Amino acid sequence: MTARPLGIVGVGNMGLAMALRLRDLGRDVRVRDIDAAREGLAVAAGARRAATAAELASRCELVVVAVVDAAQTEDVLFGADGAAAAMRPQACVVLCPTIAPASTEAIAARLAAIGVDAIDAPMSGGPARARSGTMSLMVACPDRVFARWRPLLESLADPVFRIGARVGDGARTKLVNNLLAAVNLAGAAEAIALAGRVGLDPARTLDVIERSSGQSWIGSDRMRRAIAGDLAPRAHTTLLAKDSALALAMAEAAGVAPRLGTLAAKTFAAAVDAGRGDDDDASLLAFVRELDRSNP
């Protein structure tokens, strides 16, 4: 691996966890975020702040982009003081946001035109697993790029799924996964809400589900926290609302109309419309309970 600094643009929950992971490994990490408080957390842990994405990129041979959506990704790369123009030839951008495959492909093409490599690498697993290096990355990029940066990727994630050489396939894989995550979480919220309505203890019911055929990781993780009243934001409801909508758009382009995925996406969209967008997505249980009370 190169000894040059590594850059992370976007130090929200996942970006900060990756920055801390790299500092644990002794790497020189530069960070940039529009939120000074988030930058402060990274700096307190030993990272260095860059005033702009361009300044960060000028010092780093690899830049991880860990913002929310395609618009933010394009802005930090190609906007005013964007990273791309400041990067050296054969530098690399790791694209971690969950965005449409077409957006990933277009961004990678723009980077290639100026001699910068791109790794399509959506992430999954949450901040705790990103912090410990046990999140997953779904990686799509040319073989030579993967060979060069594999050690770094494997220091950030375990497992690193090598999806293939076609940029965009990481994004496609992530959208398929997240549509199922939305289905599982919406279903888990409805099931636990139903348990309460029929007089069962929600926590005891979840004990059974976790050891039975209804178990899902996201359902267990979110419902366990929701039952305990732990709704500290780790994954905002807006994220699965966005991701499920992107997955449905991808499906429509392929001539497919996922029935359960459509219902789950509508549930998340309704939760956002009800003002729960900035809440942790574990709050979906409370939202479903509210719907049940309004439709006795």
Tell me which residues are annotated as active site.
174
**Contact present, 286 and 227 (Cβ < 8 Å):** no
**Contact present, 284 and 222 (Cβ < 8 Å):** yes
**Contact present, 128 and 143 (Cβ < 8 Å):** no
**Contact present, 3 and 57 (Cβ < 8 Å):** no
Alpha helix positions (H), the chain? 13-24, 36-44, 53-59, 70-78, 101-112, 127-132, 143-156, 169-197, 202-210, 217-228, 237-253, 259-271, 284-294
193-204 per-residue burial string, b: 16 or more CB within 10 A, e: under 16: bebeeeeeebee
**Alpha carbon separation from 101 to 167, 226, 268 (Å, rounded):** 8, 32, 21
DSSP 123-170: EES-HHHHHHT-EEEEEE--HHHHHHHHHHHHHHEEEEEEEESSTTHH
